[in-house]
Copies of this chain bind each other. A is one copy, B any other.
Amino acid sequence: MNEFELIDRLKPLLPRNDSVVVGAGDDCAVLTAPAAGQQLLFKTDAVVEGVHFTAETPGEKVGRKALARAVSDIAAMAGTPTSAVITLGLPSGFSPDRVESIYRGMAEFASRHGIALVGGETTRSPGAMFLNVALLGTVPTGRAVLRSGAKVGDAVFVTGELGGSIEGHHLDFEPRLTEARWLTKHFDIHAMMDLSDGLAGDLQHILQASRVPGGEILAPTLPIRQAARLRARFSDTAKPAVVAALTDGEDFELVLTIAPADAVRLLDGWKARFPETRITCIGRLNDRPGLFLRDERGLKLLGHGFQHFE
């Protein structure tokens, strides 16, 4: 099966939406511009066999994950995803059935979120299979939530639970699109990002971008995923559960900061609107240099916050 036969097989799978003037199959996709009062969001992301999935991961889950990762970044800006283009790097001897199942997984997820798949390139890849997703979205002008708006004194919240994603969550997570838009509609969210590399590291990106010197995370408050607890309990080599919650990657939850005066109202509003999903206040930002974890033994430095003259 050559590239063009493969494309013919995949093209009918690709969902469209109202923004699509010309979809996959021409030199570029042609899309209507966003409505007045909207800005564009633009993101690229790849998954690679042997890094983000294995040869045993079902194709549908590979495709779903590749797209959902990028959608999570749109969620972190409080935006709405609209259309994606895919690049698939294929080793020689690839299975067309596997490629089709990857596309089915992407297409199913895309359809459910109203995302059009408007281009699908394939290229040879002498090494591992890779799958790149470039995603467009929209956000009302000026309403994108950046990493750079956090303030000293802010309360820090995370959605859902953290750690142990490798046990399955990294293939099944639901990007927090609805939650993020609800948060920004009802509250002045100062800073927000999605957790892909682990809370301890990712929160430092917010400190850096916002020029906030430090913060404190309260260990007992951390919402630890059951999978992380079980790994810690039943494996001699696994991280302690708190460490997993701080450092495991691919949580794809939101971390956000907000004025402390809004914290209780946020907790109450969230519980009414999303009764089945946790949101947890895990700490505060402050002007003492460094990001710290506070547990029963005291304070432990997790990393540097924003430092002048660095």
Contacts and interface: CB of A to CB of B under 8 A. Distances in A.
Given A125-B128, A130-B89, A147-B26, A42 B31 contact: yes
Interface residues of A, number: 61
A interface majority secondary structure: strand
A49 B124 CA distance: 10
A46 B125 CA distance: 10
A67 B27 CA distance: 15
A38 B33 contact: yes
Interface string A127-157: 1101010101101000010111000000000
Contacts of A34: 33
B146 A22 contact: yes
A40 to B, nearest CB: 4
A132 B33 contact: no
Contact of A50 (B49, B126, B148): B126
A183 to B, nearest CB: 14
Contacts of A144: 21-22, 28, 30
Given A27-B76, A27-B77, A146-B26, A39 B44 contact: no
A124 B26 CA distance: 31
Interface string A190-218: 00011000000000000001000000000
A205 B267 CA distance: 56
Interface stretch (A79-87, A106-114, A231-239, A280-288): A79-87
A48 interface: yes
Interface of A: 21-22, 25-34, 36, 38-52, 73-74, 76-77, 79, 83, 85-87, 89, 91, 118-119, 121, 123-128, 130, 132, 134, 136-137, 139, 144, 146-148, 193-194, 209
7 contacts: A27-B77, A27-B194, A30-B41, A33-B34, A44-B85, A126-B127, A127-B127
